[in-house]
Amino acid sequence: MAETALRVEGLCKAFGGLVASDRVSLDLRAGEIHALIGPNGAGKSTLIGQIAGWIRPDAGRVLLAGRDVTRLSPARRARLGLGRTFQVSTLALPLSARRNAMIGALARAGGAWGFARPLTRERVLTEAADAALARVGLAARADVPAAELSHGERRRLELACALAGAPRALLLDEPLAGMGPEGAAQMTELLDALRREVPILLVEHDMDAVFRLADRITVLAMGRVIAHGPPAAIRADAAVRATYLGQDDRP
Ligand code: ADP
Ligand code: MG
């Protein structure tokens, strides 16, 4: 079996009487894109929040490369290699693309810089940032302020910020949101290639992209996993079609 980068075991979370996560389990293996889908209110964001660490589960565990991180802060998890992008942009708009990516590299390094001299830090962070910018096709835009980048370029810069920290696992919350067809195609192609470098847990509403990219899909509805498997099996699953895919009459 392929190595498990991330594992979620029996996560439960209730908001008052509303059960947003009901014994949710899934894993993310080396080399794969695992898509998390489900109708609005299914509990996708709540699950991502528990994995990233800003929502505390009522029960269950989160394991990163085999290590139990359930009680750790989001910053500690980032330092252990959990990379993520946010649905709402967190770029520092006045700063250059390179500076933004350097901040991403710093989030991974955290406090582990005690021994390094400032100039060494600067060089190491710059190298990590430039490599990540090149990876997402923004090498030529390194000195441009984030504010002057197009929407599609900003989404790729957000990805570069996460990649600059050399993550072991990547959580992406709607990376195609708000993109035109060209930007979406570009991002899809990028993610397709990236899976070989870092496994990706992908929350995305664009079903064409999901079915094209995912190695496996987990479907949530009302806080529960209602189906899990490769795209062909999910497409054919009666419960999924009834609660979700049926909504837009997809064959
Ligand atoms: P999704 O991301 O799949 O649309 P969410 O995880 O955002 O779903 O929400 C799952 C359910 O939990 C929804 O019914 C939502 O209203 C509820 N919920 C999410 N966060 C909170 C919160 N902080 N307080 C109360 N209810 C919440
Ligand atoms: Mg959501």
At 126-135, the pLDDT tens digits run 999 999 999 9
Confidence at residue 2, expressed as pLDDT on a 0 to 100 scale = 59
Ligand 1 near 41 CB (within 6 A): yes
Confidence at residue 101, expressed as pLDDT on a 0 to 100 scale = 95
Q: How far apart are CA 93 and CA 226, in angstroms?
A: 40
Nearest CA to ligand 1 atom 15: 41
Amino acid at 1: M
Confidence at residue 249, expressed as pLDDT on a 0 to 100 scale = 45
Question: Which ligand is closest in space to the CA of residue 220?
Answer: 1
Q: Which residue has 């708000």 as its token pair?
A: 178
Question: Which ligand is closest in space to the CA of residue 56?
Answer: 1
Q: What is the pLDDT of residues 108-158, one digit of tens each?
A: 776 565 556 777 788 889 999 999 999 999 999 999 999 999 999 999 999
Q: Binning pLDDT at 50, 70 and 90, where does residue 91 land?
A: very high
User: Where in the chain is CATH 3.40.50.300?
Assistant: 1-81+169-251
Query: Average pLDDT in the 15-36 region?
Result: 97
Q: What CATH superfamily is the domain 1-81+169-251? A: P-loop containing nucleotide triphosphate hydrolases (3.40.50.300)
- Residues, Cβ < 5 Å to ion ligand 2: 44-45
Under 8 Å between Cβ of 62 and 17 = no
According to DSSP, the β-strands at 59-64 and 67-68 are antiparallel
Q: What is the pLDDT of residues 35-81, one digit of tens each?
A: 999 999 999 999 999 999 999 999 999 999 999 999 999 999 999 99
| Phi, psi of 202, deg, nearest 5 | -115, 120
Nearest CA to ligand 1 atom 6: 43
pTM score of the predicted model: 0.92
Closest CA to 103 of 78, 72, 134, 80: 78
CA of 99 to the centre of ligand 1 (A): 34
Query: Average pLDDT in the 19-26 region?
Result: 98
Query: What's the complex ipTM?
Result: 0.98
